Structure 1
Amino acid sequence: MMDTVSKEVRSRNMSAIRSTNTKPELFLRKLLFSHGYRYRLYSKNLPGKPDMWLRKYKTAIFIHGCYWHRHQGCQLATTPSSNVDFWNDKFEKNIIRDQKVYQLLKDRGIRILIVWECTIKRMKSDKNYCQTILKEIEDFLQSTSERIEL
């Protein structure tokens, strides 16, 4: 399938995609802050510059976009139909980089909380689900588990 816009327009669209302060990040940050959790943003001295760093809980939080980080089984993790080899290579490199970052954090004794974009979208539209996820986050922070994905 051909792209419906010119290369220049596609380039401008892709360059507008943010990597920090995304809507899902802002939603989760406000939620956690309102429940008394304090954090640092994009801590440069940690591998992978996590979206949030909760030092008190020694936990790095990543808010992953389902598309870019390839959330298994998620309808948001589609693959473009053009330039498939490029995209598959890019997605594979993202997954490998994520795994390396997780291992580096684990080696430092840092726990990892991954919240997927689709989870946050559902949290925004369903208050009961939002409370369920918040409870899971709080339970994880009080546990000794090394990693959780929501």
Structure 2
Amino acid sequence: MAVRHSKLSQIEKIARPIKWRWRISSLQENPDKVRSANMRAIRSKNSRPEMAVRRCAHSLGYRYRLHDKRLPGSPDLVFRSRKKVIFVHGCYWHGHGCKRGGSGAKTNTEYWRPKIARNKERDKISVNKLTADGWNVLTLWECELNDVHALKVRLVDFLK
């Protein structure tokens, strides 16, 4: 049985690179598959900017709920007892005016301009519904998260 196992592992070692080369070559031949794979890898939850804000809020001693679907827009962080929510927006995806978000798409602009405009409109509607229901809303942009000290000050001011 041990001999058979070692032969299988040797075959697997040989077969893996062949399969991988096939995947790479097929992706290089079809750029739509590459784009599709890249878009699939972009997450809407637990993104790097969101995780940075979560770590910062937690280190300050605040406890929160994540992505409450009962609230409009499903805010990233929900502080129910304080009736406050935080949205963490990526500059590109939500059309921020900074250098990252203001440049827009370079390809397929007839799709991306209306898509990002719809995202901005949906964000505005969600914030209006939340404020109408008595919630305080803070929107943090990806470009604002580089300065950790400023982020902590902003969170403390908002959550007190």
Flag whether TM exceeds 0.5 (same fold). yes
TM range (shorter): 0.7 to 0.9
Residue matched to 2:150: 132
Please report how far the alpha carbon of residue 42 of structure 1 lies from its aligned counterpart in structure 2 after TM superposition.
0.3
CA distance in 1, matches of 2:157, 2:104: 34
Residue matched to 1:58: 83
CA distance in 1, matches of 2:67, 2:106: 33
1:57 partner letter: R
Matched-pair contact (CA < 8 Å) for 2:105–2:113 = no
Matched, 1:98 2:110: no
Matched, 1:87 2:112: yes
Residue matched to 2:55: 30
CA distance in 1, matches of 2:58, 2:154: 16
Residue matched to 1:76: 100
Bigger shift: residues 76-85 or 49-58: 76-85
Matched-pair contact (CA < 8 Å) for 2:76–2:88 = yes
Unaligned runs of 5+ in 2: 1-29
1:134 partner letter: K
How many residue pairs get aligned? The number is: 130
Please report how far the alpha carbon of residue 119 of structure 1 lies from its aligned counterpart in structure 2 after TM superposition.
1.1
> What TM-score do you get using the length of structure 1 for normalisation?
0.82
Unaligned runs of 5+ in 1: 124-129, 143-150
CA distance in 2, matches of 1:132, 1:8: 40
CA distance in 2, matches of 1:39, 1:53: 5
Matched-pair contact (CA < 8 Å) for 2:57–2:155 = no
CA distance in 2, matches of 1:107, 1:27: 29
Which aligned segments of 4 or more residues in structure 1 are displaced greater than 3 angstroms? none
Please report how far the alpha carbon of residue 83 of structure 1 lies from its aligned counterpart in structure 2 after TM superposition.
1.7
Residue matched to 1:17: 42
Please report how far the alpha carbon of residue 28 of structure 1 lies from its aligned counterpart in structure 2 after TM superposition.
1.1
Please report the RMSD computed on the Cα atoms of aligned residues, expressed in angstroms: 1.2
